[in-house]
Amino acid sequence: MDLSLNGVSHSYGNVEVLRDITLNVPSGQIVCIVGPSGCGKSTLLRMAGGLERPDQGEILQVGEPPEDCLNPLTFIFQDFALLPWRTVDGNVRLVLEDHGIRGERGEAIVADVLARTNLGDFRTALPKQLSGGMKQRVAIARALAVRPAVMLMDEPLSALDAQTRELLIDDLVSLWAREPFTALYVTHNLSEAVRLGHKIVVLSRRPGEVREIVEIDRPLTERSLGDADLDARQKHLWEVMRSEARAADEELVHD
């Protein structure tokens, strides 16, 4: 299933946040959205997932989601959004319970996703016992459990320290390599974007417009930290973004 955004515009009151955004998320690819803070990237993601309605434009699911998919558009949040009163196991089960998946079938799915995210030994731990990186792994496991057609990732690594971020980038790459997933990935971190994105969409400052779309053909598994070609790409992205970011930074907050 592909996701297609057509001419999406949105305002909050008098403040225009997004202007005429058109982009496609083809199946099996990771599309990164980068942009200065306040450019409406998270708003765009919430719209893609049906948590907010755009003023204009449409968001289309192209094609049918796969048969076994329980929740076609699934979010991964920056602040993990784990229920603190449920264990790792219970947090994953939460999203299965409503689909009537319990007992052996539920157990099989939970065991599978926890194994894929290397959480097998932490099933009975509460979120308060886990580090930030582990919490985000639980959130990824929870998202995998509903077999999403498109994952909507809202700065998933931004709450983590730089080392944990590297580890999780590796995890995401190996998850993708094993079974390619489709994702719309919002971030403000350019090195994440060049490591994980097949396509990188640069938004301007508010109101957010598509400034440039960069495609990177190198397979995800062949990209690594400190790669010269990727660094050049990253530098290019930063040059596109720099003036936007500076202008956004110097803007007064109006609300």
Q: Is 62 left (phi over 0), alpha (psi -120 to 50) or beta?
A: beta
- Residue 178 sits in the site that holds another protein (CB under 8 A): no
CA distances from 8 to 44, 54, 69, 162 (A): 8, 6, 26, 33
Print the binding letters for residues 51-90 with another protein: x by CB under 8 A, - otherwise: x------------------xx-xxx-x-x-x-xxxx----
The answer to whether 23 and 5 have CB atoms below 8 angstroms apart is yes
Beta carbon nearer to another protein, 51 or 167: 51
Q: Note whether 92 binds another protein by CB under 8 A.
A: no
The 3-state DSSP class for residue 69 equals coil
| Beta carbon nearer to another protein, 145 or 173 | 145
Question: Given the complex with another protein, which of 92 and 202 has the nearer CB atom?
Answer: 92
The contact pattern for another protein, residues 116-145, with x = CB under 8 A and - = no contact, is ----------xxx-------------x---
* CB of 3 vs another protein, minimal distance in Å: 15
Minimum distance from residue 90 beta carbon to another protein (Å): 10
Report if residue 101 touches another protein, rule: CB under 8 A: no
Give which of 40, 60, 59 is closest to 154, Cα–Cα.
40
| Residue 124 Cβ vs another protein, minimum distance, rounded to whole Å | 13
If we measure between CA atoms, which residue out of 55, 21, 25 comes closest to residue 35? Answer: 21
Work out whether strand 183-186 and strand 199-203 pair parallel, antiparallel, or are unpaired.
unpaired
Contacts 24+ apart (CB under 8 A), 100-103: 101/70
Q: How far is the CB of 75 from another protein (least distance, A)?
A: 4
Measuring CA to CA, which residue among 176, 164, 163, 166 is closest to residue 220?
176
Nearer of residues 25 and 220 to another protein, judged by Cβ: 25
Contact residues for another protein, defined by CB under 8 A: 49, 51, 70-71, 73-75, 77, 79, 81, 83-86, 94-95, 97-98, 126-128, 142, 146, 152
